[in-house]
Amino acid sequence: MGPFEIRGVIEGFYGRPWSHAERERMIDFLGRHGYNLYVYAPKNDPIHRNRWLEPYLPEELARFASLERRCRARGILFVFGLSPLKLHYSDEGEMAALFAKLESVYRLGVRGFMLLVDDMPDKFHYPDDEARFGSVAEAHVWLNNAVLARLQEWGGIERYLFVPTEYCGEGRSAYLARLGEGLRPEVCVMWTGPEVCSPRLTTADARVISETLRRPVLYWDNYPVNDGEMRWRPHLRPIRGRDADLGTAALGIVANASLQPEASKIPLHTYAQYMADPVGYEPESAWQKALLDVCGDEADARAVAALADLARWSHLERGRQLHNQLAFKLSEFWRRWGGAPAVAGPDLEGVPAPGEEAPAIAALAPGAGRTPIPGGASAPPGAAERLALTGDLLAEFARLHAAADRVLHSMVNPWLQAELRPWAEKLAGWCDTAALALTALRTALQDPADPRLPALRRDAVDRLWATRENFHWVAGDLIDQFARRCLWAAQEAAGGAGGQIPTEGVGAGA
């Protein structure tokens, strides 16, 4: 299955842990797509981290046993993670509790273990620990070697993984060098790359950290994870930016999944394709396969692709989150219009520049994209052409609304439908807003004195403000600004830049 010895997924995020049923479905998915490792390590399981000194109940252990059996039947190693927050290394009672907890899981038949000290202070909590070890690195070497020795006394294990306190950067620190020197060779050390969420993982960087650690690095790749401030982004797009020969320097990759397990399967499907054939991997074609497999229906896949294209904000496409198909169409609209109203303000930062090509996205439609934006505004068109332009975009927003409606109401995959609902609702809101603003503009072009115009404008603004209340990220401010520009253009058409501002019904308090 390709050059990577370990091909894994970790439930290692902050936020709502997955349900047991969600884990079972994920394990089934991993087994179908060539993964060979699943790690249980959700930060907000309090017994895993904050209250790690408490033992798991027998009923909780039975769940781990069930997951272990399910993994084993599908050729996957179940790895139990433990993150002992504020561990008192020199306290015999705490160390006994740690060993007892690991042993309770070992007795279930679990043979994969991970110790995590990530996102913890790089200083000791207790003076006697500092006096005993001198450095956190020395304590971590001692702890891991002691845990590994105990596990081997019980009968041996298949994998032992360690997430250090320093898990990203240049890979040359004294802390990492001491880990490399002191850890037993069986310890697999995890690393997220140059950054916590790394846009690229290169073979050159992998060789640096592997040399420091004196063992091939095992990547913890923070995609498609979307915890913390990223929770508003669905991270549905394909994996990219990983070197084709990364497997020559790395032991493997463990992808940190997102808060939405079913939606995670779309990018995880592309990761499976990359790890199976890094040289032949092409992100967009891999994404098309992933969408079809996870959605289970071709029309559903196109609808999710349309949503994901507009919600593409992630570190993998940093600086290009507004480079969606719609952005190019909106830019072309204003170019052919003769330019957006000057009163409406400057362009958004990060929108496609003149001369850029729209991305080719096979999952949307064959040949979609690759249309460059010509430079400069064209001569102002006549009224008939402007009406045609508004008609074209009304049709485009109707198409996008239909995609949102399909996600909301008629998807084959019910779990994916439920997870994507907030983003689909946001898209529907933006489509309503844009359609109302375009209709107001169209009405102003046809008859500036049309009595319906003030109500259309108010409805557009009401919908815009209501849509802003949904923080789930879809197209950023792209459609927001477009709708407002349409209303400014409608005002110009109805009465010039200094025309009458509609105030009826505004501020009419009780």
Place of tokens 């073979």: 203
Cis omega (within 30 of 0) on the bond before 224? yes
Residue type, 321: Q
Nearest of 8, 1, 85 to residue 45 by alpha carbon: 85
Cβ 234 vs Cβ 260: under 8 Å = yes
Would you state the structure tokens that stand for residue 118, as one six-digit string? 């990530």
Strand ranges (E), 227-290: 250-256
Residues 6+ apart with CB under 8 A from 223: 197, 235, 239, 255, 256, 267, 314, 315, 316
**Which residue among the candidates 45, 91, 118, 119 is catalytic per the annotation?**
119
Cβ 86 vs Cβ 131: under 8 Å = no
Is residue 119 annotated as part of the catalytic site, yes or no? yes
Pairing type for strands 37-40 and 77-82 reads: parallel
d(CA 453, CA 439): 9
* Residues 81-90: b if buried by 16+ CB within 10 A, e if exposed: bbbbbebbbb
Catalytic residue ranges: 119
